[in-house]
Structure 1
Amino acid sequence: MHVPDGFINLPVSATAGVVAAGAVAVGLRGARRELNDRTAPLAGLVAAFVFAVQMLNFPVAAGTSGHLLGGALAAILVGPYTGVLCISVVLLLQGILFADGGLTALGVNITVMGVVTVVVAYALFRGLVKVLPKKRRSVTVASFVAALVSVPASAAAFTLLYAIGGTTDVPIGTVLTAMVGVHVLIGLGEAAITAATVGAVIAVRPDLVYGARGLSAPLKLRVGGELVDAEPAPAPEPTNSPRPVWIAGLVTSLVLAGFVSFYASASPDGLEKVAADKGIDKKVEDHAAANSPLADYGVKDVENARISGGLAGVIGVGATVVVGTGVFWAVRRRRTADSGTAA
Protein backbone atom coordinates (compact mmCIF):
# COMPACT_ATOMS: atom_id res chain seq x y z
CA MET A 1 0.00 0.00 0.00
CA HIS A 2 2.87 2.37 -0.74
CA VAL A 3 1.22 5.61 -1.87
CA PRO A 4 3.13 7.27 -4.74
CA ASP A 5 3.45 10.99 -5.38
CA GLY A 6 0.41 12.44 -7.11
CA PHE A 7 -2.41 10.49 -5.44
CA ILE A 8 -2.81 13.04 -2.61
CA ASN A 9 -2.33 16.78 -3.11
CA LEU A 10 0.56 18.64 -1.53
CA PRO A 11 -1.34 20.44 1.29
CA VAL A 12 -2.80 17.18 2.61
CA SER A 13 0.51 15.38 2.06
CA ALA A 14 2.27 18.11 4.06
CA THR A 15 -0.30 17.84 6.84
CA ALA A 16 0.15 14.09 6.93
CA GLY A 17 3.89 14.72 7.09
CA VAL A 18 3.40 16.85 10.20
CA VAL A 19 1.26 14.12 11.77
CA ALA A 20 3.89 11.50 10.89
CA ALA A 21 6.69 13.65 12.31
CA GLY A 22 4.72 14.09 15.52
CA ALA A 23 4.12 10.35 15.72
CA VAL A 24 7.82 9.65 15.24
CA ALA A 25 8.70 12.19 17.95
CA VAL A 26 6.24 10.52 20.34
CA GLY A 27 7.64 7.14 19.30
CA LEU A 28 11.19 8.25 20.11
CA ARG A 29 10.15 9.26 23.61
CA GLY A 30 7.98 6.21 24.23
CA ALA A 31 10.59 3.79 22.89
CA ARG A 32 12.94 4.80 25.69
CA ARG A 33 10.61 2.98 28.09
CA GLU A 34 10.23 -0.06 25.84
CA LEU A 35 13.84 -0.69 24.86
CA ASN A 36 16.68 -2.09 26.91
CA ASP A 37 20.13 -3.42 26.12
CA ARG A 38 18.66 -6.78 25.10
CA THR A 39 15.80 -5.58 22.93
CA ALA A 40 17.37 -2.59 21.13
CA PRO A 41 19.22 -4.74 18.54
CA LEU A 42 16.12 -6.94 18.17
CA ALA A 43 14.10 -3.87 17.21
CA GLY A 44 16.50 -3.26 14.33
CA LEU A 45 16.06 -6.88 13.32
CA VAL A 46 12.27 -6.53 13.39
CA ALA A 47 12.54 -3.60 10.97
CA ALA A 48 14.74 -5.67 8.66
CA PHE A 49 12.36 -8.62 8.84
CA VAL A 50 9.41 -6.38 7.94
CA PHE A 51 11.41 -5.04 4.99
CA ALA A 52 12.18 -8.57 3.80
CA VAL A 53 8.63 -9.88 4.13
CA GLN A 54 7.22 -6.82 2.37
CA MET A 55 9.08 -8.02 -0.74
CA LEU A 56 6.98 -11.19 -0.75
CA ASN A 57 3.78 -10.19 -2.50
CA PHE A 58 1.19 -12.97 -2.26
CA PRO A 59 -1.85 -13.38 -4.55
CA VAL A 60 -5.20 -12.48 -3.00
CA ALA A 61 -7.52 -12.32 -6.02
CA ALA A 62 -7.40 -12.47 -9.79
CA GLY A 63 -4.72 -10.02 -10.87
CA THR A 64 -4.19 -8.63 -7.37
CA SER A 65 -1.55 -9.25 -4.73
CA GLY A 66 -0.82 -8.07 -1.22
CA HIS A 67 2.12 -7.78 1.13
CA LEU A 68 2.75 -7.41 4.83
CA LEU A 69 2.30 -3.93 6.30
CA GLY A 70 4.00 -4.98 9.53
CA GLY A 71 2.58 -2.52 12.04
CA ALA A 72 0.85 -5.18 14.12
CA LEU A 73 3.88 -7.49 14.04
CA ALA A 74 6.31 -4.78 15.10
CA ALA A 75 4.07 -3.45 17.87
CA ILE A 76 3.51 -6.88 19.41
CA LEU A 77 7.15 -7.93 19.21
CA VAL A 78 8.89 -4.75 20.39
CA GLY A 79 6.15 -2.39 21.63
CA PRO A 80 3.85 0.16 19.97
CA TYR A 81 6.17 3.17 20.21
CA THR A 82 9.12 1.21 18.88
CA GLY A 83 6.82 -0.37 16.30
CA VAL A 84 6.02 3.05 14.79
CA LEU A 85 9.74 3.72 14.51
CA CYS A 86 10.38 0.32 12.89
CA ILE A 87 7.84 0.93 10.13
CA SER A 88 9.05 4.51 9.66
CA VAL A 89 12.63 3.30 9.12
CA VAL A 90 11.44 0.73 6.58
CA LEU A 91 9.32 3.24 4.65
CA LEU A 92 12.09 5.85 4.64
CA LEU A 93 14.65 3.45 3.20
CA GLN A 94 12.17 2.05 0.68
CA GLY A 95 11.39 5.55 -0.57
CA ILE A 96 14.99 6.77 -0.77
CA LEU A 97 16.80 3.65 -1.98
CA PHE A 98 14.17 1.65 -3.85
CA ALA A 99 11.79 4.33 -5.20
CA ASP A 100 8.91 2.57 -3.46
CA GLY A 101 6.41 5.05 -2.05
CA GLY A 102 6.56 8.72 -3.00
CA LEU A 103 8.92 11.06 -1.16
CA THR A 104 6.33 13.84 -0.86
CA ALA A 105 3.91 11.09 0.21
CA LEU A 106 6.27 9.75 2.90
CA GLY A 107 4.15 11.33 5.63
CA VAL A 108 1.03 9.76 4.13
CA ASN A 109 2.67 6.35 4.07
CA ILE A 110 3.99 6.57 7.63
CA THR A 111 0.60 7.73 8.87
CA VAL A 112 -1.39 5.10 6.98
CA MET A 113 0.98 2.11 7.10
CA GLY A 114 2.75 2.82 10.37
CA VAL A 115 0.71 4.88 12.80
CA VAL A 116 -2.78 3.60 11.97
CA THR A 117 -1.78 -0.06 11.83
CA VAL A 118 0.16 0.13 15.10
CA VAL A 119 -2.52 2.03 17.02
CA VAL A 120 -5.42 -0.11 15.81
CA ALA A 121 -3.58 -3.41 16.10
CA TYR A 122 -2.02 -2.85 19.50
CA ALA A 123 -5.19 -1.45 21.07
CA LEU A 124 -7.16 -4.46 19.84
CA PHE A 125 -4.37 -6.84 20.82
CA ARG A 126 -4.22 -5.55 24.41
CA GLY A 127 -7.99 -5.73 24.73
CA LEU A 128 -8.06 -9.33 23.55
CA VAL A 129 -5.15 -10.41 25.76
CA LYS A 130 -6.99 -9.06 28.81
CA VAL A 131 -10.11 -11.14 28.19
CA LEU A 132 -8.49 -14.30 26.82
CA PRO A 133 -6.91 -16.96 29.07
CA LYS A 134 -3.38 -16.05 30.12
CA LYS A 135 -1.69 -18.53 27.83
CA ARG A 136 0.82 -18.27 25.03
CA ARG A 137 -1.79 -19.41 22.54
CA SER A 138 -3.91 -16.40 23.47
CA VAL A 139 -1.10 -14.07 22.38
CA THR A 140 -0.98 -15.79 19.00
CA VAL A 141 -4.77 -15.62 18.57
CA ALA A 142 -4.84 -11.95 19.58
CA SER A 143 -2.00 -11.28 17.13
CA PHE A 144 -3.98 -12.85 14.29
CA VAL A 145 -7.12 -10.81 14.95
CA ALA A 146 -5.24 -7.55 15.54
CA ALA A 147 -3.23 -7.89 12.33
CA LEU A 148 -6.31 -8.80 10.32
CA VAL A 149 -8.23 -5.71 11.44
CA SER A 150 -5.27 -3.34 11.07
CA VAL A 151 -5.03 -3.75 7.29
CA PRO A 152 -8.57 -2.66 6.26
CA ALA A 153 -8.26 0.07 8.92
CA SER A 154 -5.19 1.32 7.07
CA ALA A 155 -7.11 1.17 3.78
CA ALA A 156 -9.93 3.20 5.33
CA ALA A 157 -7.39 5.77 6.57
CA PHE A 158 -6.02 6.15 3.04
CA THR A 159 -9.56 6.62 1.74
CA LEU A 160 -10.13 9.38 4.29
CA LEU A 161 -6.99 11.19 3.13
CA TYR A 162 -8.06 10.70 -0.47
CA ALA A 163 -11.49 12.14 0.34
CA ILE A 164 -9.80 15.29 1.69
CA GLY A 165 -6.97 15.71 -0.79
CA GLY A 166 -7.37 13.29 -3.70
CA THR A 167 -6.09 14.63 -7.02
CA THR A 168 -8.73 12.86 -9.12
CA ASP A 169 -12.51 12.99 -9.03
CA VAL A 170 -13.60 9.47 -8.03
CA PRO A 171 -16.64 8.81 -5.79
CA ILE A 172 -15.40 8.20 -2.24
CA GLY A 173 -17.87 5.38 -1.67
CA THR A 174 -16.43 3.56 -4.65
CA VAL A 175 -12.88 4.00 -3.37
CA LEU A 176 -13.79 2.92 0.17
CA THR A 177 -15.61 -0.21 -0.95
CA ALA A 178 -12.82 -1.27 -3.28
CA MET A 179 -9.98 -0.48 -0.86
CA VAL A 180 -11.50 -2.08 2.22
CA GLY A 181 -12.76 -5.08 0.26
CA VAL A 182 -9.43 -6.07 -1.22
CA HIS A 183 -7.52 -5.23 1.96
CA VAL A 184 -9.68 -7.53 4.05
CA LEU A 185 -8.28 -10.32 1.87
CA ILE A 186 -4.77 -8.95 2.25
CA GLY A 187 -5.39 -8.75 5.99
CA LEU A 188 -5.83 -12.52 6.10
CA GLY A 189 -2.31 -12.93 4.77
CA GLU A 190 -1.03 -10.28 7.18
CA ALA A 191 -2.73 -12.08 10.06
CA ALA A 192 -1.25 -15.45 9.12
CA ILE A 193 2.29 -14.05 8.82
CA THR A 194 2.00 -12.07 12.05
CA ALA A 195 0.56 -14.95 14.09
CA ALA A 196 3.13 -17.41 12.73
CA THR A 197 6.05 -15.09 13.50
CA VAL A 198 4.83 -14.14 16.98
CA GLY A 199 4.06 -17.79 17.72
CA ALA A 200 7.53 -18.88 16.61
CA VAL A 201 9.31 -16.31 18.79
CA ILE A 202 7.10 -16.83 21.81
CA ALA A 203 7.67 -20.59 21.61
CA VAL A 204 11.42 -20.22 22.12
CA ARG A 205 11.87 -16.85 23.85
CA PRO A 206 8.63 -15.43 25.31
CA ASP A 207 10.69 -12.94 27.31
CA LEU A 208 11.60 -11.20 24.04
CA VAL A 209 7.97 -10.62 22.97
CA TYR A 210 6.77 -7.27 24.29
CA GLY A 211 3.11 -8.23 24.01
CA ALA A 212 3.66 -11.36 26.12
CA ARG A 213 4.97 -9.56 29.17
CA GLY A 214 2.96 -10.40 32.28
CA LEU A 215 1.50 -13.43 30.54
CA SER A 216 1.50 -15.81 33.50
CA ALA A 217 -1.63 -15.98 35.66
CA PRO A 218 -1.27 -14.83 39.29
CA LEU A 219 -0.60 -17.47 41.91
CA LYS A 220 -3.65 -18.23 44.08
CA LEU A 221 -3.50 -18.83 47.85
CA ARG A 222 -6.31 -20.10 50.04
CA VAL A 223 -6.86 -17.73 52.96
CA GLY A 224 -9.77 -18.29 55.31
CA GLY A 225 -11.34 -20.71 52.87
CA GLU A 226 -11.15 -18.23 49.96
CA LEU A 227 -8.75 -18.04 47.01
CA VAL A 228 -6.86 -14.75 46.80
CA ASP A 229 -4.05 -13.54 44.52
CA ALA A 230 -0.61 -13.99 46.01
CA GLU A 231 1.83 -11.10 45.98
CA PRO A 232 3.70 -11.47 42.67
CA ALA A 233 7.42 -12.10 42.98
CA PRO A 234 9.78 -9.88 40.97
CA ALA A 235 10.37 -11.41 37.55
CA PRO A 236 13.93 -12.71 37.26
CA GLU A 237 16.10 -11.04 34.68
CA PRO A 238 16.70 -13.49 31.80
CA THR A 239 20.31 -14.58 31.64
CA ASN A 240 20.45 -16.27 28.25
CA SER A 241 21.55 -14.07 25.38
CA PRO A 242 19.13 -13.07 22.61
CA ARG A 243 21.97 -13.46 20.10
CA PRO A 244 20.77 -16.84 18.72
CA VAL A 245 17.35 -15.33 18.01
CA TRP A 246 18.98 -12.30 16.38
CA ILE A 247 21.18 -14.47 14.16
CA ALA A 248 18.30 -16.75 13.19
CA GLY A 249 16.10 -13.75 12.39
CA LEU A 250 18.79 -12.08 10.30
CA VAL A 251 19.50 -15.25 8.31
CA THR A 252 15.76 -15.73 7.73
CA SER A 253 15.41 -12.13 6.54
CA LEU A 254 18.34 -12.47 4.15
CA VAL A 255 16.97 -15.71 2.70
CA LEU A 256 13.50 -14.23 2.24
CA ALA A 257 14.73 -11.03 0.62
CA GLY A 258 17.63 -12.53 -1.31
CA PHE A 259 16.05 -15.74 -2.60
CA VAL A 260 12.36 -16.26 -1.83
CA SER A 261 11.41 -12.79 -3.09
CA PHE A 262 12.15 -13.92 -6.65
CA TYR A 263 9.02 -16.07 -6.47
CA ALA A 264 6.73 -13.31 -5.17
CA SER A 265 3.59 -12.45 -7.11
CA ALA A 266 4.15 -9.93 -9.90
CA SER A 267 0.53 -8.74 -9.82
CA PRO A 268 -0.14 -5.18 -8.61
CA ASP A 269 -0.88 -4.83 -4.91
CA GLY A 270 -4.26 -3.80 -3.56
CA LEU A 271 -3.74 -0.03 -3.82
CA GLU A 272 -2.18 -0.24 -7.30
CA LYS A 273 -5.04 -2.39 -8.56
CA VAL A 274 -7.76 -0.15 -7.13
CA ALA A 275 -5.96 2.96 -8.41
CA ALA A 276 -5.75 1.55 -11.94
CA ASP A 277 -9.33 0.26 -11.96
CA LYS A 278 -10.94 3.39 -10.48
CA GLY A 279 -8.74 6.06 -12.05
CA ILE A 280 -6.99 7.27 -8.91
CA ASP A 281 -3.62 7.08 -10.66
CA LYS A 282 -4.37 9.56 -13.45
CA LYS A 283 -2.06 12.19 -11.94
CA VAL A 284 0.61 9.92 -10.52
CA GLU A 285 4.08 11.46 -10.68
CA ASP A 286 7.45 9.94 -11.47
CA HIS A 287 9.43 9.04 -8.38
CA ALA A 288 12.24 11.43 -7.48
CA ALA A 289 14.53 8.44 -6.88
CA ALA A 290 13.54 6.62 -10.07
CA ASN A 291 17.18 6.61 -11.19
CA SER A 292 18.45 5.11 -7.95
CA PRO A 293 20.84 2.17 -8.45
CA LEU A 294 18.34 0.05 -6.47
CA ALA A 295 15.08 1.40 -7.93
CA ASP A 296 12.27 -1.15 -8.21
CA TYR A 297 14.22 -3.63 -6.04
CA GLY A 298 16.86 -4.43 -8.63
CA VAL A 299 20.55 -3.59 -8.87
CA LYS A 300 21.28 -1.34 -11.82
CA ASP A 301 23.34 -2.86 -14.65
CA VAL A 302 22.89 -6.41 -13.33
CA GLU A 303 21.05 -8.12 -16.18
CA ASN A 304 20.15 -11.39 -14.47
CA ALA A 305 16.80 -10.71 -12.80
CA ARG A 306 17.29 -13.31 -10.09
CA ILE A 307 20.70 -11.98 -9.08
CA SER A 308 19.64 -8.35 -9.41
CA GLY A 309 16.58 -8.74 -7.21
CA GLY A 310 18.38 -10.94 -4.70
CA LEU A 311 21.25 -8.49 -4.29
CA ALA A 312 18.81 -5.61 -3.87
CA GLY A 313 16.97 -7.54 -1.19
CA VAL A 314 20.16 -8.39 0.69
CA ILE A 315 21.32 -4.77 0.50
CA GLY A 316 17.94 -3.60 1.75
CA VAL A 317 17.99 -5.97 4.72
CA GLY A 318 21.53 -4.93 5.58
CA ALA A 319 20.74 -1.22 5.33
CA THR A 320 17.61 -1.61 7.46
CA VAL A 321 19.46 -3.56 10.15
CA VAL A 322 22.23 -0.97 10.32
CA VAL A 323 19.97 2.10 10.30
CA GLY A 324 17.32 0.57 12.56
CA THR A 325 19.78 -0.76 15.10
CA GLY A 326 21.61 2.58 15.11
CA VAL A 327 18.38 4.46 15.80
CA PHE A 328 17.30 2.13 18.59
CA TRP A 329 20.71 2.05 20.25
CA ALA A 330 20.71 5.86 20.19
CA VAL A 331 17.27 5.88 21.82
CA ARG A 332 18.44 3.42 24.43
CA ARG A 333 21.61 5.41 25.18
CA ARG A 334 19.52 8.58 25.49
CA ARG A 335 17.40 6.88 28.14
CA THR A 336 20.52 5.80 30.02
CA ALA A 337 21.93 9.32 29.81
CA ASP A 338 18.66 10.82 31.06
CA SER A 339 18.58 8.35 33.96
CA GLY A 340 22.13 9.28 34.89
CA THR A 341 21.33 12.99 34.77
CA ALA A 342 18.26 12.49 36.97
CA ALA A 343 20.31 10.51 39.47
Structure 2
Amino acid sequence: MPLFLLHAADGFFSVPVSLVFWAITVAALAISLKRAGERLDERAIPLMGVMAAFIFAGQMFNFQIPGGTSGHLLGGVLAGILLGPYAGTVVMACVIAVQAIVFQDGGLVVLGANIFNMGIIGTMGGYWVYRAIAGALGGEEKGRLPAAAVAAWLSVVTAAVVASFQLALSDTTSLGAALVAMVGWHVLIGIGEAIITVGALGFIRVARADLLTLREASPA
Protein backbone atom coordinates (compact mmCIF):
# COMPACT_ATOMS: atom_id res chain seq x y z
CA MET A 1 0.00 0.00 0.00
CA PRO A 2 1.42 3.45 -0.85
CA LEU A 3 2.25 5.95 1.87
CA PHE A 4 -0.48 8.58 1.66
CA LEU A 5 0.49 12.17 2.35
CA LEU A 6 -1.56 15.36 2.60
CA HIS A 7 -0.62 16.61 -0.89
CA ALA A 8 -2.90 14.05 -2.51
CA ALA A 9 -2.40 13.29 -6.19
CA ASP A 10 -5.21 12.97 -8.71
CA GLY A 11 -6.74 9.52 -8.49
CA PHE A 12 -6.42 9.21 -4.71
CA PHE A 13 -9.89 10.70 -4.17
CA SER A 14 -12.90 9.85 -6.31
CA VAL A 15 -14.49 12.51 -8.50
CA PRO A 16 -17.63 12.79 -6.29
CA VAL A 17 -15.53 13.24 -3.15
CA SER A 18 -13.32 15.77 -4.95
CA LEU A 19 -16.35 17.75 -6.16
CA VAL A 20 -17.91 17.86 -2.70
CA PHE A 21 -14.73 19.26 -1.20
CA TRP A 22 -14.31 21.70 -4.08
CA ALA A 23 -17.76 23.07 -3.20
CA ILE A 24 -16.94 23.29 0.52
CA THR A 25 -13.58 24.93 -0.18
CA VAL A 26 -14.98 27.51 -2.62
CA ALA A 27 -17.65 28.47 -0.07
CA ALA A 28 -15.09 28.75 2.73
CA LEU A 29 -12.76 30.86 0.58
CA ALA A 30 -15.61 33.17 -0.46
CA ILE A 31 -16.45 33.75 3.21
CA SER A 32 -12.76 34.21 4.06
CA LEU A 33 -12.23 36.79 1.32
CA LYS A 34 -15.28 38.75 2.44
CA ARG A 35 -14.39 38.65 6.14
CA ALA A 36 -10.72 39.45 5.51
CA GLY A 37 -11.71 42.45 3.38
CA GLU A 38 -14.00 43.73 6.12
CA ARG A 39 -11.86 43.10 9.17
CA LEU A 40 -8.18 42.86 8.32
CA ASP A 41 -5.98 45.67 9.57
CA GLU A 42 -4.54 47.45 6.51
CA ARG A 43 -1.06 47.20 8.00
CA ALA A 44 -1.35 43.42 7.77
CA ILE A 45 -1.88 43.36 4.00
CA PRO A 46 1.87 43.41 3.15
CA LEU A 47 2.34 40.71 5.77
CA MET A 48 0.03 38.42 3.77
CA GLY A 49 2.53 38.42 0.91
CA VAL A 50 5.47 37.91 3.24
CA MET A 51 3.61 35.13 5.04
CA ALA A 52 2.77 33.39 1.77
CA ALA A 53 6.41 33.56 0.66
CA PHE A 54 7.65 32.26 4.02
CA ILE A 55 5.22 29.33 4.10
CA PHE A 56 5.92 28.52 0.45
CA ALA A 57 9.66 28.48 1.11
CA GLY A 58 9.20 26.53 4.34
CA GLN A 59 7.23 23.84 2.55
CA MET A 60 10.11 23.32 0.15
CA PHE A 61 12.32 22.00 2.96
CA ASN A 62 11.55 18.52 4.25
CA PHE A 63 12.57 17.09 7.61
CA GLN A 64 13.18 13.37 7.94
CA ILE A 65 11.19 11.18 10.31
CA PRO A 66 11.78 7.51 11.20
CA GLY A 67 10.70 5.03 8.57
CA GLY A 68 12.24 6.65 5.51
CA THR A 69 9.64 9.33 4.90
CA SER A 70 9.62 13.07 5.57
CA GLY A 71 7.40 15.96 6.49
CA HIS A 72 7.39 19.69 5.99
CA LEU A 73 5.83 22.82 7.41
CA LEU A 74 2.15 23.32 6.62
CA GLY A 75 1.96 26.74 8.29
CA GLY A 76 -1.79 27.11 8.73
CA VAL A 77 -1.69 27.80 12.47
CA LEU A 78 1.19 30.24 12.04
CA ALA A 79 -0.73 32.12 9.34
CA GLY A 80 -3.87 32.16 11.48
CA ILE A 81 -2.08 33.52 14.55
CA LEU A 82 -0.41 36.33 12.62
CA LEU A 83 -3.19 37.24 10.18
CA GLY A 84 -6.39 35.85 11.65
CA PRO A 85 -8.31 32.82 10.37
CA TYR A 86 -9.79 34.44 7.26
CA ALA A 87 -6.74 36.15 5.77
CA GLY A 88 -4.65 33.17 6.87
CA THR A 89 -6.94 30.80 4.98
CA VAL A 90 -6.63 32.91 1.81
CA VAL A 91 -2.84 32.83 2.11
CA MET A 92 -2.77 29.06 2.59
CA ALA A 93 -5.09 28.49 -0.38
CA CYS A 94 -2.80 30.54 -2.61
CA VAL A 95 0.30 28.65 -1.48
CA ILE A 96 -1.27 25.22 -1.99
CA ALA A 97 -2.69 26.22 -5.37
CA VAL A 98 0.66 27.51 -6.63
CA GLN A 99 2.37 24.31 -5.51
CA ALA A 100 -0.17 22.20 -7.39
CA ILE A 101 -0.29 24.28 -10.56
CA VAL A 102 3.39 25.19 -10.90
CA PHE A 103 5.22 22.35 -9.16
CA GLN A 104 2.67 19.52 -9.57
CA ASP A 105 2.76 18.95 -5.81
CA GLY A 106 -0.75 17.55 -5.48
CA GLY A 107 -3.37 17.07 -8.18
CA LEU A 108 -5.72 19.63 -9.69
CA VAL A 109 -8.90 17.57 -9.49
CA VAL A 110 -8.27 17.02 -5.78
CA LEU A 111 -7.03 20.56 -5.18
CA GLY A 112 -10.22 21.56 -3.37
CA ALA A 113 -9.77 18.66 -0.93
CA ASN A 114 -6.07 19.46 -0.45
CA ILE A 115 -6.84 23.11 0.31
CA PHE A 116 -9.56 22.02 2.74
CA ASN A 117 -7.27 19.57 4.53
CA MET A 118 -4.14 21.70 4.77
CA GLY A 119 -5.49 25.23 4.54
CA ILE A 120 -8.98 25.40 6.02
CA ILE A 121 -8.59 22.79 8.75
CA GLY A 122 -5.09 23.96 9.57
CA THR A 123 -5.88 27.67 9.58
CA MET A 124 -9.48 28.08 10.71
CA GLY A 125 -9.63 25.02 12.94
CA GLY A 126 -6.11 25.48 14.24
CA TYR A 127 -6.69 29.15 14.98
CA TRP A 128 -9.75 28.54 17.15
CA VAL A 129 -8.02 25.71 19.01
CA TYR A 130 -5.11 28.09 19.60
CA ARG A 131 -7.40 30.81 20.92
CA ALA A 132 -9.19 28.40 23.26
CA ILE A 133 -5.97 27.01 24.72
CA ALA A 134 -4.32 30.43 25.01
CA GLY A 135 -7.41 31.75 26.80
CA ALA A 136 -7.32 28.84 29.23
CA LEU A 137 -3.66 29.59 29.95
CA GLY A 138 -4.32 33.22 30.83
CA GLY A 139 -4.30 34.99 27.49
CA GLU A 140 -2.18 35.08 24.36
CA GLU A 141 0.78 36.83 25.94
CA LYS A 142 1.22 34.01 28.45
CA GLY A 143 -0.11 31.10 26.49
CA ARG A 144 0.93 31.91 22.91
CA LEU A 145 3.72 29.38 22.49
CA PRO A 146 2.23 26.31 24.21
CA ALA A 147 -1.15 27.00 22.60
CA ALA A 148 0.50 27.33 19.18
CA ALA A 149 2.38 24.06 19.69
CA VAL A 150 -0.74 22.08 20.54
CA ALA A 151 -2.81 23.71 17.78
CA ALA A 152 -0.10 23.12 15.17
CA TRP A 153 0.27 19.45 16.09
CA LEU A 154 -3.48 18.91 16.22
CA SER A 155 -4.03 20.63 12.87
CA VAL A 156 -1.73 18.15 11.13
CA VAL A 157 -3.24 15.10 12.82
CA THR A 158 -6.81 16.29 12.16
CA ALA A 159 -6.01 16.89 8.50
CA ALA A 160 -4.63 13.34 8.30
CA VAL A 161 -7.81 11.92 9.86
CA VAL A 162 -10.02 13.82 7.39
CA ALA A 163 -7.85 12.69 4.47
CA SER A 164 -8.21 9.10 5.71
CA PHE A 165 -11.99 9.36 5.52
CA GLN A 166 -11.72 10.90 2.06
CA LEU A 167 -9.60 7.95 0.91
CA ALA A 168 -12.05 5.47 2.39
CA LEU A 169 -15.08 7.22 0.87
CA SER A 170 -13.27 7.13 -2.47
CA ASP A 171 -12.70 3.36 -2.15
CA THR A 172 -8.97 3.96 -2.53
CA THR A 173 -8.31 1.90 0.58
CA SER A 174 -10.07 0.81 3.75
CA LEU A 175 -10.56 3.32 6.55
CA GLY A 176 -8.44 1.29 8.93
CA ALA A 177 -5.53 1.08 6.51
CA ALA A 178 -5.81 4.78 5.68
CA LEU A 179 -5.81 5.77 9.36
CA VAL A 180 -2.73 3.66 10.05
CA ALA A 181 -0.85 5.05 7.05
CA MET A 182 -1.94 8.67 7.46
CA VAL A 183 -2.34 9.29 11.18
CA GLY A 184 0.56 7.09 12.21
CA TRP A 185 3.07 9.19 10.28
CA HIS A 186 1.39 12.56 10.75
CA VAL A 187 1.50 12.24 14.52
CA LEU A 188 5.28 12.52 14.06
CA ILE A 189 5.09 15.13 11.30
CA GLY A 190 2.89 17.22 13.61
CA ILE A 191 5.72 17.39 16.13
CA GLY A 192 7.89 19.01 13.48
CA GLU A 193 5.04 21.39 12.63
CA ALA A 194 4.75 22.38 16.30
CA ILE A 195 8.49 22.97 16.67
CA ILE A 196 8.71 25.12 13.54
CA THR A 197 5.59 27.12 14.45
CA VAL A 198 6.81 27.82 17.99
CA GLY A 199 10.29 28.68 16.72
CA ALA A 200 8.89 31.14 14.17
CA LEU A 201 6.66 32.81 16.74
CA GLY A 202 9.51 33.01 19.24
CA PHE A 203 11.75 34.64 16.65
CA ILE A 204 9.03 37.10 15.63
CA ARG A 205 8.42 38.00 19.28
CA VAL A 206 12.08 38.94 19.66
CA ALA A 207 12.70 40.54 16.26
CA ARG A 208 9.34 42.08 15.31
CA ALA A 209 6.92 41.90 18.23
CA ASP A 210 4.68 44.45 16.49
CA LEU A 211 3.67 41.80 13.94
CA LEU A 212 1.99 39.87 16.73
CA THR A 213 -0.42 42.76 17.31
CA LEU A 214 -1.72 43.18 13.76
CA ARG A 215 -4.29 40.42 13.98
CA GLU A 216 -5.32 41.47 17.51
CA ALA A 217 -5.92 45.00 16.19
CA SER A 218 -8.92 43.76 14.21
CA PRO A 219 -11.88 41.60 15.23
CA ALA A 220 -10.93 38.90 12.70
Flag whether TM exceeds 0.5 (same fold): yes
Task: Name the residue aligned to 1:93.
Answer: 98
In the TM superposition, what is the alpha-carbon distance from 1:137 to its structure 2 partner?
A: 4.6
1:128 correspondence with 2:133:
yes
Aligned residue identity for 2:194: A
In the TM superposition, what is the alpha-carbon distance from 1:119 to its structure 2 partner?
A: 2.6
Task: Name the residue aligned to 2:198.
Answer: 195
Secondary structure, in 3 states, of the residue corresponding to 1:102? Answer: coil
Task: Name the residue aligned to 1:172.
Answer: 175
Paired with 2:161 and 2:139, the residues of 1 have a C-alpha distance of: 32
Aligned residues: CA RMSD: 1.7
Task: Name the residue aligned to 1:116.
Answer: 121
Pick aligned residue for 2:28 from 23, 29, 32: 23
Pick aligned residue for 2:55 from 50, 53, 62: 50
Paired with 1:206 and 1:213, the residues of 2 have a C-alpha distance of: 12
Secondary structure, in 3 states, of the residue corresponding to 1:38? Answer: helix
Contact preservation (8 Å) 1:53, 1:67: yes
Task: Name the residue aligned to 2:148.
Answer: 143
Runs of 4+ in 1 over 6 A off after TM superposition: none
> Unpaired runs of 5+ in structure 1?
215-343
In the TM superposition, what is the alpha-carbon distance from 1:178 to its structure 2 partner?
A: 2.3
Aligned residue identity for 2:160: A
Contact preservation (8 Å) 1:88, 1:110: yes
Closer/same/farther in 2, CA of residues 212 and 160 from structure 1, 3 Å limit: same
In the TM superposition, what is the alpha-carbon distance from 1:135 to its structure 2 partner?
A: 6.1
State the identity %.
42
Aligned residue identity for 2:135: K
In the TM superposition, what is the alpha-carbon distance from 1:91 to its structure 2 partner?
A: 1.0
Task: Name the residue aligned to 1:10.
Answer: 15
Aligned residue identity for 1:188: I
Task: Name the residue aligned to 1:39.
Answer: 44
User: Number of residues paired by the alignment?
Assistant: 212
Contact preservation (8 Å) 2:84, 2:215: no
In the TM superposition, what is the alpha-carbon distance from 1:200 to its structure 2 partner?
A: 1.4
TM-score normalized with structure 1 length: 0.59
Closer/same/farther in 2, CA of residues 94 and 103 from structure 1, 3 Å limit: same
Contact preservation (8 Å) 2:25, 2:116: yes
Paired with 1:129 and 1:211, the residues of 2 have a C-alpha distance of: 17
TM-score normalized with structure 2 length: 0.90
In the TM superposition, what is the alpha-carbon distance from 1:20 to its structure 2 partner?
A: 0.8
> Unpaired runs of 5+ in structure 2?
1-5
Task: Name the residue aligned to 2:3.
Answer: none
1:181 correspondence with 2:184:
yes
Pick aligned residue for 2:82 from 77, 80, 83: 77
In the TM superposition, what is the alpha-carbon distance from 1:118 to its structure 2 partner?
A: 1.6
Closer/same/farther in 2, CA of residues 212 and 20 from structure 1, 3 Å limit: closer
Paired with 1:135 and 1:34, the residues of 2 have a C-alpha distance of: 20
Secondary structure, in 3 states, of the residue corresponding to 2:42? Answer: coil
Closer/same/farther in 2, CA of residues 135 and 36 from structure 1, 3 Å limit: closer
Deviations along 1:81-106, one digit per CA (max 9) or x if unpaired, are 01110110001111111111101111
Aligned residue identity for 1:7: F
Contact preservation (8 Å) 1:72, 1:147: yes
Between structure 1 and structure 2, the one with the greater Rg is 1
